[in-house]
Amino acid sequence: MSEKITIYQKPTCSKCRATLALLGESGEEFESVNYYETPLSADKLLELVRKLGVSLQDVLRKDEAIARDLGVATMPDNELAQAMVDNPDLIQRPIVVRGDKAALCRPPENVKALL
């Protein structure tokens, strides 16, 4: 595969750090995006979800206190996507993208499908 690899991550997340280590060991070039410093747009989040081939609810961290506080379980997707980008702790991580494919790297070894 020749497409660029991008990892959307949070540096303090253990799964993100483990996935970054696997990417580093692979020898492949990649871009790392800390989506806390460089926030995703709602459209970008929906694009990532499409590439993952899952629903928006599947990348929602439902157990976060903010999820309960905001009542995200009953939000329509357009409102949910905006709530997730406004509150990035609601987004499962890390998400690794290569071309039109993506993987939610929980566990980190899921990244190997993109290498």
What's this model's pTM, rounded to 2 decimal places?
0.94
103 with 95: CB under 8 angstroms? yes
**Which pLDDT score is estimated for 73?**
87
Residue among 6, 10, 13, 44 flagged as catalytic = 13
pLDDT in tens, 55-100: 999 999 999 999 999 999 889 999 999 999 999 999 999 999 999 9
Known catalytic membership, residue 105:
no
pLDDT in tens, 17-55: 999 999 999 999 999 999 999 999 999 999 999 999 999
111 with 105: CB under 8 angstroms? yes
Structural domains for the chain? 5-114 (3.40.30.10)
pLDDT band at 1 (very low <50, low <70, confident <90, very high): low
72 with 55: CB under 8 angstroms? no
